[in-house]
Structure 1
């Protein structure tokens, strides 16, 4: 059964002009440094229209890079073997990205529980309570701090679609995000 978390309008799709990057498993495997390299490439590519203003360029590049890096890191950290697909587009108001990968059914279940908690309520309040909980338990992981930071501090809107794969022991996960970008050129 396909399950959606977050606003459906974000998960509807990308516009016609989409750039795609695939990270393949292979002899080099997908590792952490691929996250930063890929997010830097995407941030550089999509911040080019802002080159006329150094401040705008730096802000847009940072925001896109931070968003994409967070989503790719999550995909690398929790994935099953296989490719990670990153699709990105930008219009006059928003940068949009979709990261797709395969996760184990147990990972999907745990993530759905987390999303049930962090997609309700105010992201700023939830962020503070998660930071306090993590301070009390330094061994805690998978708390959603990165996602809450994106929502609270960057105005990112997120949605997730979980779809069963194969015999049901693996799940196709699509993470959708949109961040406000205003082009003044």
Structure 2
């Protein structure tokens, strides 16, 4: 059975006009370099739609790049072997992205527990609490600082859908995000 965390209304399929990029496992293995390269490509591609000024273009490119990089890094860091699919589109004044990958069952449960904490309450307050917790415990590995920064500082709306991935212990994770860009270039 599928489980949803976050903003329900953005957890819908991408339009047919979405741009799709797939990162495959292979001899080069997926790494951090692929995250930055892919997010830069997507940010450049979608920021080109912003023609009003050079500053607007830079701001939109930065926001899209930061969002996409954070989501791809999380997918690479926590994934089970397999491909990662990124779908992106601009719709109704928002940049929307969906990142899909597979994780093992234990990772899924740990992530769901973190999402249960960060999807309730004020993201700004949670961000400060997590920063303080990280400062007190430098060994902390699951802080969600990137996701909380996106929610607090960039106005990003996020949602996750977890569903079984066949008969194994694997879980399919779809991460949805929407960031407003209309106020930047209107």
Alignment size in residue pairs: 185
**TM-fit CA distance, 1:50:** 1.4
Partner of 1:135: 135
Quote how far apart the aligned CAs of 1:167 are. 2.1
- Counterpart mapping for 1:165-184 below 5 A: 165-182=165-182, 184=185
The equivalent of 1:99 in structure 2 is 99
Q: Aligned partners of 1:143, 1:121: CA distance in 2, in Å?
A: 16
- CA 1:131–1:184 in 2, change beyond 3 Å: closer, same or farther? closer
Q: For residues 64-83 of structure 1, what are the structure 2 equivalents within 5 Å?
A: 64-83=64-83
2:56 touches 2:185 (CA, 8 Å); kept in 1? Answer: no
Q: Any stretches of 5+ residues in structure 1 without a counterpart?
A: none
TM-score calculated relative to the size of structure 2:
0.96
Give the structure-1-normalised TM-score.
0.97
Q: Is the 8 A contact 1:92 1:181 kept in 2?
A: no
Q: Does 1:17 align with 2:17?
A: yes
Structure 2 distance, partners of 1:180, 1:16, is 20
- What SS does the aligned partner of 1:49 have? coil
Compute the RMSD of aligned alpha carbons: 1.2
Match of 1:158, SS state, is: strand
Pairing of 1:112-131 with structure 2 (within 5 A): 112-131=112-131
Residue ranges of structure 2 left out of the alignment (5+ in a row): none
Measure how far apart 1:143 and its partner are: 1.1
**What secondary structure does 2:49 align onto?**
helix
